[in-house]
Amino acid sequence: MRVGLTGGVASGKSTVADLFEARGAVIIDGDKLAREVVAPGTPGLAQVVAEFGEEMLLPDGSLDRPRLGAIVFTDPERRRALEAITHPLIFERYAALEAGAADAALVVHDIPLLAETGRAADFDAVVVVDAPDELRIERMLRDRGWTREDAESRIASQATREQRLAIATHVIENTGTREELAARVAEVDALLRAAAAAG
């Protein structure tokens, strides 16, 4: 079964992915793939530099992600230009990895921007990790050392909670303890496996 896993920044999506993996799911991580497709020497990085300029490179030839982020998270047009380069490359890698994991009962695609890309229908089920915006802002200030302005602009650059919830087959609310989160993941995992078995 192909499962799309998504959630806004600081919703706890990565923790949920780890919990699914601990239960035997194969995880295909969109954030890792997003870094891979713009690694030094890749066509993706060459396209980003052609679009945004040489100043996006660090001295070692790798992408200056914070610098690029400062541009694309405040300018929707520039963000779309970046996504036009990276999204096709990322989904190509997804397809290749998924082909290699074809026998697994659950293949969970960890995709931060699933609602934004309009690809929810590509999956048998979509799991949305949800938490109120204010709680997510608190986490970014506390855990990432971001300013409130940075946190709010990152949230504003993503789909709204309502847009994400609209594509959800299952919602995992992450507002409590890790134990509560693990219990909810176990419930959803069982529902997904039952659906896969019913086929």
Residue 1 lies in a domain: yes
Same domain, 51 and 63: yes
What's the average pLDDT block by block, 10 residues per block, for the chain (199 residues)? 95 97 93 93 97 97 94 92 94 86 83 91 97 97 94 93 97 97 98 91
Residue 113 lies in a domain: yes
Structural domain that includes position 180: 1-25+106-193
Same domain, 124 and 181: yes
Q: Alpha helix locations (H) across the chain? A: 13-22, 30-36, 43-52, 65-72, 76-100, 114-117, 133-139, 148-157, 161-166, 178-198
Residue 48 lies in a domain: yes
Q: What is the DSSP letter of 154?
A: H
Same domain, 21 and 110: yes
Residue 199 lies in a domain: no
Number of domains comprising the chain:
2
Residue 166: both structure tokens together: 């609209």
Among 103, 118, 148, which residue terminates a domain? 103
Q: Is 116 exposed, middle or buried (0-12, 13-18, 19+ CB in 10 A)?
A: middle
Same domain, 96 and 114: no
- The confidence score (pLDDT) of residue 98 equals 84
- The confidence score (pLDDT) of residue 30 equals 82
Same domain, 95 and 112: no
Same domain, 110 and 149: yes
List the CATH number of the domain containing 129: 3.40.50.300
Same domain, 11 and 50: no
Q: What is the pTM of this model?
A: 0.80
Q: Rounded distance, CA 172 to CA 170, Å?
A: 7
Q: Is 199 exposed, middle or buried (0-12, 13-18, 19+ CB in 10 A)?
A: exposed
Among 103, 119, 152, which residue terminates a domain? 103
**b or e along 33-45 (b: 16 or more beta carbons within 10 Å of the residue's beta carbon)?**
bbeebbeeeeebb
Same domain, 188 and 114: yes
Same domain, 138 and 169: yes
Residue 198 lies in a domain: no
- The confidence score (pLDDT) of residue 102 equals 65
Contact 111, 4 (CB under 8 A): yes
Q: What is the DSSP letter of 128?
A: E
Contact 85, 48 (CB under 8 A): yes
Same domain, 90 and 142: no
Same domain, 114 and 188: yes
* Number of Cβ within a 10 Å radius of residue 160: 13
- The confidence score (pLDDT) of residue 13 equals 96
- The confidence score (pLDDT) of residue 106 equals 92
Same domain, 81 and 63: yes
